[in-house]
Amino acid sequence: MNQQEMMELKVRVSGAFRAGTPIDRQPLFAGRLDQLNDVLNAALQPGRTVILFGERGVGKTSIARAVPEIIRTSKGYGRFNCGTINCEETDNFDSLWRKIFRELTLITEPTELGLKGQALQGQALQSDVPLESRVPNRELNGDDVRHLLGKISDHSLIIVDDLEKLTDRSARALLADTIKNLSDHPSNLALILVGVADSVEKLIPDHHSIERALLQVPVPRMSMSELIQIINTGLHAANLTAVDSVIARIARLAHGLPHYAHSIGLYSAFKAIESGRTTVTAQDVLEATKTTVQKSHAIQSDYNKATGAPRKQNLFAKVLRACALAEEDEFGYFPAAAVSLPMGRIMGRQYYVPNFSRHLFDLCEQERGPVLEKIGAPRRIRFRFANPMMQPFVLIHDYSQGNLTHEFLDEIRDGRGYGEINLPGGIKQ
Are residues 98 and 236 located together in one domain of the fold?
Answer: no
Are residues 274 and 321 located together in one domain of the fold?
Answer: no
Task: Fill in the DSSP letter of residue 113.
Answer: B
Count of the separate structural domains present in the chain: 3
Q: Highest-confidence range of 106-115, 330-339, 359-368, 403-412, by mean pLDDT?
A: 359-368
228-251 pLDDT, tens digit each: 999 999 999 889 999 999 999 999
Sheet holding 382-385, edge to edge: 334-335, 382-385, 372-375
pLDDT tier at 309, thresholds 50, 70, 90: confident
Average pLDDT over residues 162-177: 93
Q: State the greatest distance between any 2 C-alpha atoms of the chain, in Å, as a whole number.
A: 97
Counting Cβ atoms within 10 Å, is residue 102 exposed (0-12), middle (13-18) or buried (19+)?
A: middle
- Please give the share of the chain, as a percent, with pLDDT higher than 70: 84
- CA 312 to CA 303: how far, in whole Å? 16
1-31 pLDDT, tens digit each: 888 989 999 999 998 898 765 655 555 556 6
C-beta separation of 52 from 192 below 8 A: yes
pLDDT of 339 > 60? The answer is yes
Are residues 269 and 306 located together in one domain of the fold?
Answer: no
CATH of the domain at 114: 3.40.50.300
Are residues 266 and 158 located together in one domain of the fold?
Answer: no
**Backbone torsions φ then ψ of 82, nearest 5 degrees:** -145, 145
Residue 182 to residues 42, 283, 395, Cα–Cα distance (Å) = 13, 54, 45
* Residue partners of 34: CB distance under 8 A and separation at least 6: none
151-168 pLDDT, tens digit each: 887 788 899 999 999 999
C-beta separation of 40 from 48 below 8 A: no
* Residue partners of 222: CB distance under 8 A and separation at least 6: 31, 32, 58, 59, 230, 254, 256, 257, 258, 261
Q: Which of 154, 189, 218 is at the close of a domain?
A: 218
Q: What is the pLDDT of residue 423?
A: 35
pLDDT of 374 > 80? The answer is yes
Are residues 233 and 286 located together in one domain of the fold?
Answer: yes
Expressed as residue numbers, the domain containing 325 is 297-426
- The verdict on residue 164 lying in a domain is yes
- Please give the share of the chain, as a percent, with pLDDT higher than 90: 50
C-beta separation of 414 from 224 below 8 A: yes
Are residues 362 and 418 located together in one domain of the fold?
Answer: yes
Residue 21 to residues 24, 36, 65, 370, 375, Cα–Cα distance (Å) = 9, 18, 11, 26, 32
**Among the listed ranges 24-33, 69-78, 103-112, which one has the minimum average pLDDT value?**
24-33
Where are the extended beta strands (E) located within 354-402? 372-375, 382-385
- CA 231 to CA 250: how far, in whole Å? 8
pLDDT tier at 343, thresholds 50, 70, 90: very high
318-329 pLDDT, tens digit each: 999 999 999 988
Q: Round the average pLDDT of the chain to a whole number and report it.
A: 84
Q: Which of 218, 251, 285 is at the close of a domain?
A: 218
CB atoms within 10 A of CB 85: 19
Q: What is the pLDDT of residue 320?
A: 96
Q: What is the pLDDT of residue 290?
A: 97
* Residue partners of 29: CB distance under 8 A and separation at least 6: 23, 36, 62, 66
Are residues 228 and 311 located together in one domain of the fold?
Answer: no
Q: Which of 295, 327, 354 is at the close of a domain?
A: 295
pLDDT of 124 > 60? The answer is no
Whole-prediction pTM? 0.81
Average pLDDT over residues 338-346: 91
